[in-house]
């Protein structure tokens, strides 16, 4: 019963190949990436390109959109309310959602500027 345990231990203890100088070989790319620090760096790089960078681009585009809102623009709030901008402030917008019905909305809660057809505009085509 202990035979399978000792065989695995023997394989684990039986050293690697010896190089001409007497030291062990590096093992190529596997030897380079076998340590914990290179693996952590690799994981961070993957997370950066898959999660962090796209989120930063989206936040930058949203900030630029908020800075370019003017009186008369039709917008959509995060709560799903469509309205026309009638007043601007540093932190708030005044929206007219129906004739003579106005509400104040924080700039951070604006989802986007609405096109003429009543729907948000399509994203620009990539070249």
Split into its structural domains, the chain has a count of 2
Is the overall model pTM greater than 0.85, yes or no?
no
Domain annotation covers residue 15: no
Specify the 3-state DSSP secondary structure of 43. helix
Per-residue pLDDT tens for 18-49?
A: 555 555 555 566 677 678 898 999 999 999 99
What's 108's DSSP letter? G
Domain annotation covers residue 11: no
CATH number for the domain that contains residue 91: 2.30.30.100
Domain annotation covers residue 96: yes
Locate tokens 């009186």: which residue?
Answer: 71
Contact predicate 95/85, CB 8 Å: yes
- The dihedral region occupied by 9, where left means phi > 0, alpha psi between -120 and 50, and beta the remainder, is alpha
Same domain, 84 and 105: yes
**H helix or E strand, kind and range, residue 84:** strand 82-88
Q: Can you tell me the mean pLDDT for 5-22?
A: 54
Phi (first) and psi of residue 21, to 5 degrees: -85, -5
Per-residue pLDDT tens for 53-72?
A: 999 999 999 999 999 999 99
Inform me whether the pLDDT recorded for 12 exceeds 70: no
């Amino acid at each position: 019963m202990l035979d399978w345990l000792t065989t695995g231990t023997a394989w684990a203890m039986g050293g690697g190949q010896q190089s001409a100088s007497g030291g062990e070989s590096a093992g190529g790319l596997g030897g380079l990436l076998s340590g914990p620090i290179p693996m952590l760096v690799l994981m961070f790089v993957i997370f950066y390109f898959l999660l962090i960078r796209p989120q930063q681009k989206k936040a930058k585009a949203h900030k630029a959109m908020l800075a370019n809102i003017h009186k008369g623009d039709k917008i959509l709030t995060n709560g799903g309310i469509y309205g026309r901008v009638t007043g601007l402030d540093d932190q708030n917008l005044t929206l007219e959602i129906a004739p003579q019905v106005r509400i104040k909305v924080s700039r951070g809660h604006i989802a986007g500027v609405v096109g003429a057809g009543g729907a948000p505009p399509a994203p620009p085509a990539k070249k």
